[in-house]
Amino acid sequence: MPAWQGKSKGKPLGYKIFVSVLKIGGVRPAYFLLRFVTLYYLLFSFKSTKVIFNYFHKRHNYGAIKAVYKTYQNYNLLGQSLIDKVVIMSGIPNKFTFDLDGIENLHQIASLQKGGLLLTAHIGNWEIATHLLNDIDARINIVIFDGEDQDIKEYIESVTGKKPTNFIVIKNDMSHIFKINEALSNNELVCMPADRFMEGNKTVTIKILGAEAKFPLGPFALASRFKVPVSFVFGMKESTFHYHFFASEIKEYSDLERDDLSQQIMTDFVDSVEIKVKKYPEQWYNYYSFWQ
């Protein structure tokens, strides 16, 4: 099974066009323009279209016509999530509203002052979810992969005014591991996706949506090593201007042995992801051969 390659689609010019539309006309004209971009990717981005079509056809058992339509919806919702991120982070006037389901759990995990892991996945808009954590009384470190085109990154930062002051960037030299260790040792919170792995990473196979898939061992090994409390967080889009943020009840596994602890956290995490994916199937954004 091919691992995720750490690359995202898109060019700086495309981002500039959408940001210009957002500043002039707001979100709805940008969404309208997005429909044409979505159709382009559906027709000409063959590899990712095949992957997502199979996801709907095989994992959700949709017929071929419905799977094609859902693939279009998937691309469109991904584009909307990118637009929404720019709008919210840059302060462009908008009508977005949020339900915060379980935010008290994150206040609690911060109050424990033991450090903690906030595990998420590439479903919904987890970057918006992390943006909603500003009121938590703890330093929150966001783990990201540094795979974006440098020109795109610099442009988005110039628009949003956001610098990665508390981002931990995954590097080939594994230096990010030391930064994560330092953050947890300082009783800080670390938010990281736990559904993708790079070639050469240690993985564990587990069933999700009826078939075996590989998950990275790293996030779960960290939780078992430090025995920190864990919460699973997701930000799912429920309508044009409304998001629903979820944070699970705090899970502590200090009474388990190290290997059993890693396995239990992974099982709980995958169960949580599966529940969200079944409820929001169009918001699955892993565009590679996820299942074996």
Give dist(CA 92, CA 108) in Å, integer.
31
Which is higher by pLDDT, 280 or 228? 280
Summary mean pLDDT of the chain: 85
DSSP state of 197: -
13 — pLDDT class (breaks 50, 70, 90): low
Q: Tell which residue, 292, 282, 289, 291, has the closest CA to residue 123.
A: 282
Most confidently modeled of 15-29, 125-139, 198-212? Answer: 198-212
Give dist(CA 214, CA 291) in Å, integer.
7
Question: Using one digit for the tens of pLDDT, what is the confidence trace for 30-44?
Answer: 999 999 999 999 999
Sheet hosting strand 242-247, strand order edge to edge: 97-101, 242-247, 230-239, 116-120, 189-193, 140-145, 167-170
In sequence order, what are the residues at sequence separation of 6 or more whose Cβ sits closer than 8 angstroms to the Cβ of residue 76?
A: 34, 35, 38
CA 65 from chain centre, in angstroms, equals 28
Question: Using one digit for the tens of pLDDT, what is the confidence trace for 216-267?
Answer: 998 888 888 888 999 999 999 999 999 999 999 998 876 666 667 788 899 9
Predicted confidence at residue 12, as pLDDT, reads 61
85 — pLDDT class (breaks 50, 70, 90): confident
Beta-carbon count within 10 A of 154 CB: 12
Q: What is the mean pLDDT of residues 185-208?
A: 89
The residues pairing with 246 across neighbouring beta strands, listed in sequence order, are 101, 234
Alpha helix (H) ranges present in 174-247?
175-185, 218-226
Contact in structure between 262 and 224 (CB atoms under 8 Å): yes
Q: What is the mean pLDDT of residues 188-212?
A: 90
Q: What is the mean pLDDT of residues 76-93?
A: 86
Q: Tell which residue, 242, 4, 14, 7, has the closest CA to residue 128.
A: 242
Q: Is the pLDDT of residue 105 over 90?
A: yes
Is pTM beyond 0.75 here?
yes
Question: Using one digit for the tens of pLDDT, what is the confidence trace for 148-173?
Answer: 544 445 555 665 555 445 878 777 67
Contact in structure between 180 and 186 (CB atoms under 8 Å): no
- Here the tokens at position 142 are 């966001």
Buried b or exposed e, range 244-255, using 16+ CB within 10 angstroms: bbbbbeebebee
Least confident range from 60-74, 156-170, 175-189: namely: 156-170
Domains, the chain, ordered by start: 12-283 (3.40.1130)
Predicted confidence at residue 158, as pLDDT, reads 61
Which is higher by pLDDT, 25 or 107? 107
